[in-house]
Amino acid sequence: MCCDAAIITNSPPWLLASYPEGNLFQLTQEEIQILLAREGREKLFLQGITLAGTKCLLIRDNLYTEGNNTMDLRTKGQSRGSQEVTAVHIESVYLVMMGQKGTEGEPLNLKAFEMASYIREAIHQHMAHF
């Protein structure tokens, strides 16, 4: 279902971890800044966004909506077909997941929420030891 994933942060805009065989390891600081900016988000619907050099259309933006914290995108103009992309805000990091070609947004969202839950739990367990 998922063919690529990355964990990014916004302060500073940085790629923390990624799947080595995917493309998201190529995310730039500028792309991360644009993706995670709190201001001017409405223009992303019109202009789209580039992730790791791949142009994406913004489908749904609830990244900073309490209780949802997700953003749905779709790659555009790819000869191999478009792919769903989901970003989830988890504490101070963000999980970005790209679905395999043909994967619908809803199953990818569910998988992203599941992964976010594991990450959130790991963060809390780690912080409990300090």
**For residue 64, how many other CB atoms are within 10 A of its CB?**
12
CA distance 33 to 116: 21
**For residue 127, how many other CB atoms are within 10 A of its CB?**
9
SS3 content of the chain, % helix, strand, coil (to 5): 30, 35, 30
Condensed to tens digits (0 to 9), the pLDDT of residues 112-125 reads 989 999 988 888 88
Indicate whether this model's pTM tops 0.85.
yes
Amino acid making up residue 63: L
Condensed to tens digits (0 to 9), the pLDDT of residues 21-68 reads 999 999 999 999 999 999 989 999 999 999 999 999 999 999 999 888
